Structure 1
Amino acid sequence: MTAQRHPDGPVLVVGSGLAGWTAVREFRKLDANTPVVLITADTGDFYGKPALSTALAQGRTPAQLVTMPADQMRETLNVTVMAHTHVTRLDVQAQAVHTAQGVLTYRDLVLATGAHPIRLSLGGNAASEVMSVNDLASYTVFRQSLLPQSRVLVIGAGLIGCEFANDLAAKHYAVQVVDPNAVPLAALLPEAVGAQLQAALQALGVQWHFGTSVQTVDRTDDGLVVTFANGQQTVVDVVLSAVGLRADVALAQAAGLTTERGIVVNAQLQTSAAHVYALGDNAQYASDSVGGVARTLPYVLPIMHAGKALAQTLAGTPTAVQFPLMPVAIKTPALPLVVASAALGTVGAWQVVGEGLWHFVDAEGQVRGFVLSGSSTNRRMEQAKLVTA
């Protein structure tokens, strides 16, 4: 194919999630004229992914989750949107992106390809019927699978699993959750707070299966028979896997970019190739490293900070992203929670400070993180001032 180079050298953005659209929006605040092309495998509509795990209780349909259609985004931000377009290859030497519709060259390339749900290796004749939700399309399929009185098993008691369990139980679905840990959100919360969340969701009707995992899923006349590693079984109508995400690095790897847990970027969000940047769930931020170990940050606030810094760089002012303390609100109305995790690798322990307040304290007695629960969640700004960077 012949490359279609824009005479002014476009900025190409691959991905139309929050990261891709944030990069475009922030760049347009600084540069109204440089052509921008956004390439996406889906519709390009803008919606907030965190809303997927709370829409049921709020009575919002999948269509109502779209806050701005792609056409409106295109007109508002003066951007070319290539919807339903799959990128097949990146050529970072030629500064070209190969798609099923042709080849485009770029001045700068932004990779915002996000992350894919981790797929468990399960046995049984209905293993392929296990669902994952990570975008509006998959959420729509999940919603269509729910009938009145559906029995739902959620695999994983992490952040997303607990949010979905709360949302489903609030609409009176029969919800079960299975997780190998002893309490929900074991990686984020003090065990005592996890136990409080367990009790709060149990009061809504959620049934827990801790200390085990799913081995097989089989379709029978009664529904889906799920067999756990401990030998127990349960029968449900829908199985939703929420065991985490894995950064989408396939295109970057094939192009020879440096990847580890994500696409490795420096403080200016540049990858190992010139004029190629990454942000969002697919990026591994060196600027957030602890002890030299970079990490991915699959939350909203890191994307907002990264998008603003990247826009400055794309507009001609190289800018390092700086991540402040970024508390995460966990959307479990049964027990509202705010978590400010200590930096990766920080050695310390949780200490209860007061009603609904825990501090993560290091060996020197410095507060490195906190958890707020219930009515105490409105104290996040006050507590953030106490955390030592």
Structure 2
Amino acid sequence: MTNTVVVIGAGLAGWTTVREFRKRDSATPVTLITGDSGDFYAKPSLSNAFAQGRLPAQLISTPAAKMAETLGVTLVAHTRVQALDAATQTVVTRAGRIAFRDLVLATGAQPIRVPVEGDAADRVLSVNSLDDFAALHAQLQAGSGSDRPVLIMGAGLIGCEFANDLASAGFRVSVVDPGMRPLAALLPEAASAELRQALEALGVTFHFGVTVRSVDAAENAGSLQVLLSNGLLAHADCVLSAIGLRADTRLAKAAGLAVERGIVVNCQLQTSAAHIHALGDCAQYAHGVTLPYVMPIMTAARALAATLAGTPSDAVFALMPVSVKTPALPLVVAPPKPGTAGQWHAPETGLWQWLDEAGVQRGFVLSGSRTAQRMAESRRVVL
């Protein structure tokens, strides 16, 4: 029986698990399999790189070869795992089978794509990786200084971050969303209004209550005609879909593992199969919660590394406020747990507190200069 720990995925979840594991165990063989190059980069930097004038290659903090050498990992790059077999403890790739003692699924999430008609529907882009960002960068030719139109589908977290970034970089940005306000899933209505006003001051145009019906090639080479559901015809050099992400559960589901919104794991991040674990954007933690943010991934990776090294450890998630990368209006969000009854209260300008039915604070939102109070406000929250 092999003693190898196999990790699928070279994002923050995969590489951090390996790094934390190596702090505890320098001898056990580790193989990391990834469909891309395996270069290490901060995924959140993808949505604020244009305004900083950063090229795709400049976002790489550590090349894959250096990561593998430093951590003593066998890197299998540009390779897709075709299947996993829980019974025989093997994964199947085009190059053959790889046996594991323990398997870590860090497969991340995939962009949600809605059906769009038109002869240029296949030119709608999504950015969920460095390769995706490189494609967007090439299409927009960043740094040209031109006032080129970009249309973003989705006014959620990623859509608003890209809207801020691209508008700051000199692009004419339009945002289309079927809802009625930006970041509606995270912010109280008044905070959404502040964000909308701040982005509009940068030149962002919002189209709420509508969707994209079709995308067609325009007469001008490279330009697109975008028909909205309200009949408005918009022109854009690029259409970016930022509707949201869905946990990548394809391998797990095909292998018969328990899957709901994500790959179901227990407190020690074990799936429904022994010796198979999951964390990060692909995982569904206790109480049906998914946590697609940096700090929960780091927390989960430390716990899983300890478990893999022989010290079973629960992943305990403390309150982890999220900083929204919209410099036009800095935001810090600590949403209440899903299903928490209550409502938003605004005791001060730039501060909203989620109070449950007993008046206990369960979350908060800070905007503008108030974001400096994140630690003080965090101490008031009861999980």
Match for residue 50 of structure 1? 44
Match for residue 95 of structure 1? 89
Give 3-state SS (helix, strand or coil) of 2:117's partner.
coil
Q: Does 1:35 align with 2:35?
A: no
Match for residue 229 of structure 2? 229
Match for residue 117 of structure 1? 111
Q: Does 1:135 align with 2:129?
A: yes
Match for residue 294 of structure 2? 300
Residue of structure 1 aligned with 2:59, choices 55, 62, 65: 65
Match for residue 166 of structure 2? 168
Give 3-state SS (helix, strand or coil) of 2:258's partner.
coil
CA distance in 2, matches of 1:127, 1:347: 41
CA distance in 1, matches of 2:261, 2:188: 26
Give 3-state SS (helix, strand or coil) of 1:33's partner.
coil
Residues 68-217 of structure 1 correspond to what in structure 2 (within 5 A)?
Answer: 68-147=62-141, 148-217=146-215
Match for residue 326 of structure 1? 320
Give 1:199's aligned amino acid: Q
CA distance in 1, matches of 2:271, 2:282: 12
Give 3-state SS (helix, strand or coil) of 1:240's partner.
strand
CA distance in 2, matches of 1:295, 1:226: 36
Q: Does 1:316 align with 2:314?
A: no
Instruction: Give the deviation of 1:149 after TM superposition.
Output: 2.5
Residues 203-249 of structure 1: per-residue CA shift (max 9 Å, x gap): 10001101111111111214211111112221111000000001111
Residues 128-149 of structure 1: per-residue CA shift (max 9 Å, x gap): 1100000000100000000433
Give 3-state SS (helix, strand or coil) of 1:52's partner.
helix
CA distance in 2, matches of 1:329, 1:78: 33
Give 3-state SS (helix, strand or coil) of 1:57's partner.
coil
Match for residue 253 of structure 2? 253
Give the number of equivalent residue pairs: 377
Residues 12-67 of structure 1: per-residue CA shift (max 9 Å, x gap): 00000000001101111110110000000100000000000001111211100000
Q: With structure 1 as the length reference, what TM-score do the two structures score?
A: 0.96
Q: Does 1:10 align with 2:7?
A: no
Shifted more, 213-222 versus 190-199: the winner is 213-222
Give 2:9's aligned amino acid: G
Percent identical: 58
Gaps of 5+ in 1: none
CA distance in 2, matches of 1:145, 1:151: 12
Shifted more, 312-321 versus 333-342: the winner is 312-321
Match for residue 380 of structure 1? 374
CA distance in 1, matches of 2:254, 2:179: 36
Match for residue 336 of structure 2? 342
Residue of structure 2 aligned with 1:354, choices 348, 362, 366: 348
Give 1:276's aligned amino acid: I
Give 3-state SS (helix, strand or coil) of 1:188's partner.
coil
Q: With structure 2 as the length reference, what TM-score do the two structures score?
A: 0.97
CA distance in 1, matches of 2:61, 2:102: 28
Give 3-state SS (helix, strand or coil) of 1:197's partner.
helix
Give 1:106's aligned amino acid: F
Shifted more, 222-231 versus 255-264: the winner is 222-231
CA distance in 1, matches of 2:218, 2:338: 44
Shifted more, 216-225 versus 59-68: the winner is 216-225
Give 3-state SS (helix, strand or coil) of 2:206's partner.
strand
CA distance in 2, matches of 1:361, 1:215: 39
CA distance in 2, matches of 1:215, 1:79: 47
Alignment RMSD (CA, Å): 0.9
CA distance in 1, matches of 2:253, 2:13: 20
